Amino acid sequence: MKDRTLLMIPGPIEFEPAVLAALAAPTTSHIAPNFIEAFGQALERMRQVFLCPDGQPFVVAGSGTLAMDLAGANLIEPGDKALVVNTGYFGDRFGALLERYGAEVSQVRAPVGGRPSLDEVAAALQQEKFKLMTITHVDTSTGVITDVKGLAALGQQHGTLVVVDGVCSVAGEELRMTDWGVDVALTASQKAIGVPPGLALLVAGPRAMDAFRGRSTPVRNFYADWSLWLPIMDAYESRAIGYFGTPAVNLVWALNVSLGQILDEGMEARFERHQALSRACHAGIAALGLGEVPVEPGFAAHTMTAPRYPEGIGAADLLPRITAAGAILAGGLHPEIRAEYFRIGHMGAARMGDVLATIGAIETGLAGCGYEFERGAGVAATAAAG
Ligand code: PMP
C-alpha cells in the first residue's frame, strides 16, 4: 500500500510535485546565472502575488517568525508606539517581538474565537498616535480571519503603518496590499505559498520603505536589517551578483516554481478556490455536529478550519485515528483552549478531493472513538457544498 497520508495541518502543507522537484535539483552557486534569473523572477512574481506593484520584496532564509522580525526590527525604534490587533497566539507573538525592539505596545483584544470590531480599533487609533499597527490576517491558533481591508483603511486614516502577518493567508486569502492600503505583508514559505519551510517572505510598500529610510537609530538586528538585504534584492532583480548571506538556493528555485503556478492559476481564481474549500470543510464539520472556534461564521478563515472536539473526546484519542484513516491534522495551539479543538489546513495545493478525504478520515476517527453520528453525513455535506 502506498503511504499517502495527507498532510492537512495549517502548514507545512502538501506541496506540488514540480516544487519538490526543484528542491531535488543539484544545487548551484548562489551566483550562477540560472539561479540569479530564478531569484530575480521570484522577486518580480512576489509583487504580483502580494498585489503590490510598487512594493519592495524580501526573500530571506528563515521561518515566518523571521518575516515578523524583518518588519519589527526595521520599522520600530525605541519609544515608538505600536498597536496590535490581537486575535490569538500570533498577535501575542507580534506584541512581544515589537517590545523587544523598544516599542510601547498597546493591544486591542477579543475573547478567544472573536475579533476586535472596527469601532474598537478606531477608538484605540483615535486615543493615541501609533507609528504602526499589526494585524494577523488569519491567526492560526484560532482560525479567525480579520477584516484587513477595513482595518487597513483605519490605519491609513490615522497615518499609522499597517503591517499584516499573512503567514496563514498570503496566496490563499484575498489580500490586496496596494488597493487596501497595507504597508507590509509577510509570510513564510510553508503555507499557502506552497514551498517547504525555510523562507521568510515580505513585501514592503512605499510608506513602509520611507519610514525605514527615515530612521534615526540603527536597526537592532543584524541579520534582519533591510539595509543589508536591499542591495541583494536589487542585485538579483537587475540580474547581477550580490552577496550578504548565502541564499537558500533550492528553496528559492522552488519558490519561483510555486509563484509561477500561483500566477498561472490567477489570484482571483485562487482566492475563490480557497473559499470553496473552506465552504466544503465547514459544511462537513457542521454535518458531523461539531462546533468551531470562531464565534461567528464570518470570522472563520478560508485557509484553515478549527473544529471543536465533541464532548468527552480529545486529541489523544481522536487525532491518531484520523491519521490512521489517511489525514494528519493538528491539535490545538491557543493556550486558553488548547485541549478543546483541532485544526485542519486546506490551502495551497489542497483540492476538494483532499477535503473530502479529510472529512472522511475524521468520520472514521470519530466512529472509532464511539461518537454517535450518521456515517457519511459529513462527506455528503462536504461534497454538496463543494
Ligand atoms: N504567524 C502566523 C499567523 C503563523 O501561523 C505562524 C506559523 N504557524 C507564524 C506567524 C510563525 O511562523 P513560523 O512558524 O514559520 O516561524
Q: Are strands 132-136 and 161-165 parallel, antiparallel or unpaired?
A: parallel
Q: Is 64 in the pocket of ligand 1 (CB under 6 A)?
A: yes
Q: Which ligand 1 atom minimizes the distance to the CA of 136? A: 3
% of the chain with per-residue pLDDT over 90 = 99
**pLDDT (average), residues 358-381:** 98
Nearest to 15 by CA among 358, 348, 276, 257: 348
The answer, yes or no, to whether any atom of ligand 1 lies below 6 A from the CB of 278, is no
What is the band of 321 on the pLDDT scale with cuts at 50, 70, 90? very high
Atom of ligand 1 nearest to the CA of 197: 15
Name the residue at shortest CA distance from atom 15 of ligand 1.
64
Residue identifier of the C-alpha nearest atom 14 of ligand 1: 64
241-292 pLDDT, tens digit per residue, is: 999 999 999 999 999 999 999 999 999 999 999 999 999 999 999 999 999 9
CB 308 within 8 A of CB 341: yes
Number of separate helices (H) and strands (E) present in the chain: 14, 13
- Pick the atom of ligand 1 nearest to 200's CA: 15
Quote the pLDDT of residue 386. 84
Atom number in ligand 1 closest to CA 66: 16
64 CA from centroid of ligand 1 (Å): 5
68: CA distance to ligand 1 center in Å?
Answer: 9
Is residue 366 over pLDDT 80?
A: yes
- Evaluate: CB of 89 within 6 angstroms of ligand 1: no
Q: Is residue 2 scored above 80 in pLDDT?
A: no
| Threshold 0.95, pTM exceeds | yes
Residue with the nearest Cα to atom 12 of ligand 1?
Answer: 64
Q: Is 187 in the pocket of ligand 1 (CB under 6 A)?
A: no
Mean pLDDT, residues 16-23 taken together: 98
pLDDT of residue 3: 75
The torsion region of residue 370 among left (phi > 0), alpha (psi -120 to 50) and beta comes to left
Mutate to test the pocket of ligand 1, among 66, 69, 164, 167 (most ligand atoms within 8 A of CB): 167
For the Cβ of 90 lying below 6 angstroms from any atom of ligand 1, the answer is yes
Q: What is the pLDDT of residue 362?
A: 98
Answer whether 186's CB lies under 8 Å from 201's CB: yes
Asked if residue 223 has pLDDT above 80, the reply is yes
Q: Which atom of ligand 1 is nearest to the CA of 139?
A: 3
Do residues 229 and 244 lie in contact, with contact meaning Cβ atoms separated by under 8 Å?
Answer: yes
Closest atom, ligand 1, to C-alpha of 65: 16
- Local confidence band at 1 (pLDDT 50, 70, 90 cut-offs): low
Q: Which residue is closest in CA terms to ligand 1's atom 9? A: 64
Residue 180's pLDDT band, with cuts at 50, 70 and 90, is very high
CA distances from 60 to 205, 206, 229 (A): 17, 20, 8
Verify whether ligand 1 is closer than 6 Å to residue 107 (CB atom).
no
Q: Give the model's pLDDT for residue 190.
A: 98
Strands (E), the chain: 6-7, 56-61, 81-86, 104-109, 132-136, 138-139, 144-145, 161-165, 184-188, 199-204, 304-305, 327-328, 344-345
Question: In the prediction, which pLDDT does 4 show?
Answer: 84
